[in-house]
Amino acid sequence: MSEVSESPETPAAPTPFDHRTLLATLPELPGVYRMLDAAGNVLYVGKAKALKKRVASYFRDSHPSPRIALMVQQIAKVETTVTRSEAEALLLENNLIKGLNPRYNILFRDDKSYPYILMTKDEFPRIAYYRGSLDTKRADYFGPYPSAVAVRDSVHLLQRMFRLRTCEDSVFANRSRPCLLYQIKRCSGPCVGLVKPAAYADDVQLARMFLQGRQQEVIRRLTEAMEAASAELAFEQAAIYRDQIASLRYVQEKQYVESTRGEDLDVVVAVEEGGLVCVNLAMVRGGRHLGDRPHFPAGGGACTPDEALNAFLEQHYLDHPIPGKILVNLPPDEEVAGALAEVAARPVPVVEPKQGMPRMWVEMALQNAKIAITARRTTLSLQGKRQLALAEALGLESLDRIECFDISHTQGEATVASCVVYAGNGMKKSEYRRFNIRDITPGDDYAAMRQAVQRRYEKVASGESVAPDLILIDGGKGQVAAAAAIMAELGLAHLPMVGVAKGEARKPGLETLIFPDGREPLQLRPENPGLHLIQEVRDEAHRFAVSGHRAARGKARRTSTLEEIGGVGPKRRKALITHFGGLQGIAAASVEQLANVPGISDELAEKIYAALH
């Protein structure tokens, strides 16, 4: 009987996804759907006003978007979650996109919160630049503004026109004479009683009206006040009103792009040039155009401007205030507009203007978006050139992620190590880390470096964190040897590492690169783009370490100074710092002011005063 050889089994073709069975079970209700591949990876997350209708649209014969067509070919499973409303679906979708980072979703990474102008609710309110969560019980907030520059320009303008204070409360409460801002007519001196509360309150009200876009009403009130002061022969006061009116008219002339209706709106435009898509956000507050900020999508493959625009509208306005109106350059998605209105609990017109000032704002935003694309293309080209040059100099196949360490201390005091990250085409500040170094001999930089490197790469060794393509150590042979020893203990000796030793007189361009494997040191030419990349990352690590060290040192010194005073325990230290805003305010206080703090007796107040002077 002859043998019959068996041919190896060919793997079975993947079973096509049965979308008809799925669609038969889906309701016509709002919700979120998740597309998964055969391995269980989430490909795409979307929201729907009606789940059945939206999911069915993915399984038609043709797709206008190649990105979506490619994604549909990989679908092996669809999971859905029904929500109570379209707004709830939008919120859930946004959270899932940020948490799962699906391959085919368009994601806008906005690491920074937008800045505001803060106006406190004190007897003499202060104005200031502010970024962070809003506490409307303690202050009013005007904005948001597209950039810190726009906020600071507006604060300076308010100082010049209305002379409102900008100093911290601890400084304000302890002034005995007016500061320089009073001398240069940028503050009315409420700290030392040089302006009556009623007059200051009038200035605050005018400043509020100005920030709300009611410039014409402000000018009318100032004109009436100027005429009244002139009639009473109060010519100095009349001159102040005259200067305020002149400043306002100058602002109006300079702010040529403005609306007389004092409206709040955003301009959101999306444009594509040469394969790069940019969504540009311009802000108009109180009728004043405050500037714009470009955003570039991450992930999602090659997306269209329409897709990028709708993705931005969904993601941005869940984290930031929704204005009264949004102007766009492309026909808006009705579902997105409806979801935003539901989130805001009011109508939010999303319109494509055809004429007038709104159209001018859109055209300006489009022009600035194109400029941003040109600038980004130049930056990407430069960054790629620098990475390639450094990879060639170090003999590396690829170079995308660089991590750099530096140590900072003052004669061993408050030692802090920094780890900064360069990835893709720029510094990734959200991934920076600081390490407070403890349990070492003060001033032992080698031990500090060992501890920082160990704490950072323990997670890499356990598979909990991503490994870099290159590790930079700001230091010479000793620091590099200390870092390399720890990496060997962690089983990560294969990761490329280079020390950056400063040249003669610490002059840039003379740096020497130190290798842990005993290779001869390398000195790149000053004009080498790879060296420029090293300098940028090294300098950022140094800045980040120094700022952390100064904060730690200042905190330690403030605490230790008060700790040395007998009778001042943790509760009294906290009461003093809370009352005066810090050691500087405590040191500036008189014995009587110190004794007014709960828990501080007259005797203890004298003791504190003597210790700080």
pLDDT digits (tens, 9 = 90+) for 287-302: 777 788 888 887 655 7
CATH of residue 601's domain is: 1.10.150.20
Sign (positive or negative) of CA dihedral 421, 426, 429, 431? negative
Domain identity same for 180 and 290: no
Residue type, 311: A
Cα atoms in the 13 Å half-sphere on the side-chain side of 322: 22
Domain identity same for 122 and 233: yes
Helices (H), 317-444: 334-344, 356-394
Which of 80-84, 382-386, 497-501, 599-603 is predicted with the least confidence, judged by mean pLDDT? 382-386
Domain identity same for 530 and 419: yes
Question: How far, CA to CA in Å, does 359 sit from each of 148, 272, 365?
Answer: 26, 19, 10
* 104-132 mean pLDDT: 82
Q: Tell whether the model's pLDDT for residue 310 goes beyond 70.
A: yes
Q: Which long-range contacts (CB under 8 A, 24 or more apart) does 508-517 make?
A: 508/535, 511/535, 511/538, 513/394, 514/473, 514/476, 514/477, 514/480, 515/480, 516/480, 516/481, 516/483, 516/484
Q: Which of 75, 100, 125 is the last residue of a domain?
A: 100
Domain identity same for 282 and 142: no
Nearest to 245 by CA among 210, 278, 270: 210
The alpha carbon of 551 is separated from its chain's Cα centroid by a whole number of angstroms, namely 20
Domain identity same for 247 and 136: yes
Residue 291 placed within a domain: yes
* 194-199 mean pLDDT: 90
Question: Bridge-partner residues for 388, per DSSP?
Answer: none
Which of 38-52, 492-506, 552-566 is predicted with the least confidence, judged by mean pLDDT? 552-566
Which of 153-167, 345-359, 474-488 is predicted with the least confidence, judged by mean pLDDT? 153-167
Q: Which of 235, 254, 273 is the last residue of a domain?
A: 254
Cβ(9)–Cβ(24) below 8 Å? no
Domain identity same for 229 and 123: yes
Q: If pLDDT is split at 50, 70 and 90, which confidence band does 32 have?
A: very high
Characterize 535-569 residue by residue with b for buried, 16 or more Cβ atoms within 10 angstroms of its Cβ, and e for exposed.
ebbbebbbebbeebbeebbeeeebeebbeebeebe
Nearest to 532 by CA among 509, 510, 515, 513: 509
Residue 10 placed within a domain: no
* 62-80 mean pLDDT: 84
Please state at what angle helix 215-231 crosses helix 197-211, rounded to 10 degrees.
Answer: 150
* 411-439 mean pLDDT: 87
Which of 92-106, 202-216, 231-245, 259-273 is predicted with the least confidence, judged by mean pLDDT? 231-245
Cβ(202)–Cβ(208) below 8 Å? no
Q: If pLDDT is split at 50, 70 and 90, which confidence band does 1 have?
A: very low
CATH of residue 510's domain is: 3.30.420.340
Q: Which of 47, 71, 100 is the last residue of a domain?
A: 100
CATH of residue 62's domain is: 3.40.1440.10
Q: Range of 440's domain?
A: 401-549
pTM of the predicted model over 0.75: no
Q: Tell whether the model's pLDDT for residue 492 goes beyond 50.
A: yes
Q: If pLDDT is split at 50, 70 and 90, which confidence band does 249 have?
A: low
Q: Average pLDDT over the chain, rounded to whole?
A: 83
Residue 7 placed within a domain: no
Q: Residue 375's pLDDT is what?
A: 83
The Cα–Cα gap between 513 and 67 comes to: 44
Domain identity same for 183 and 50: no
Residue 8 placed within a domain: no
End-to-end CA distance of the chain: 110
Domain identity same for 405 and 510: yes
Please state at what angle helix 235-254 crosses helix 215-231, rounded to 10 degrees.
Answer: 160
Q: Tell whether the model's pLDDT for residue 13 goes beyond 70.
A: no
Domain identity same for 94 and 228: no
Residue 107 placed within a domain: no
Is residue 275 exposed (0-12), middle (13-18) or buried (19+ Cβ within 10 Å)?
Answer: exposed
Q: Tell whether the model's pLDDT for residue 2 goes beyond 50.
A: no
Cβ(328)–Cβ(268) below 8 Å? yes
Q: Residue 504's pLDDT is what?
A: 66
Residue type, 557: R
Share above pLDDT 70 across residues of the chain, in percent, rounded to a whole number:
90
Domain identity same for 123 and 51: no
Residue 111 placed within a domain: no
The CA radius of gyration of the chain, in Å to the nearest whole number, is: 31
Give how many domains the chain has, as a whole number: 5
Q: If pLDDT is split at 50, 70 and 90, which confidence band does 16 have?
A: low
Residue 606 placed within a domain: yes
The alpha carbon of 467 is separated from its chain's Cα centroid by a whole number of angstroms, namely 25
Q: Tell whether the model's pLDDT for residue 558 goes beyond 60.
A: no
The Cα–Cα gap between 10 and 21 comes to: 28
Sign (positive or negative) of CA dihedral 547, 553, 559, 561? negative
Characterize 303-332 residue by residue with b for buried, 16 or more Cβ atoms within 10 angstroms of its Cβ, and e for exposed.
bbbbbbbbbbbbbbbbeeebbebbbbbbeb
Q: Tell whether the model's pLDDT for residue 613 goes beyond 80.
A: no
Q: Residue 257's pLDDT is what?
A: 47
Residue 389 placed within a domain: no
Q: Residue 7's pLDDT is what?
A: 42
* 597-611 mean pLDDT: 85
* 343-358 mean pLDDT: 87
Domain identity same for 529 and 424: yes
Domain identity same for 289 and 429: no
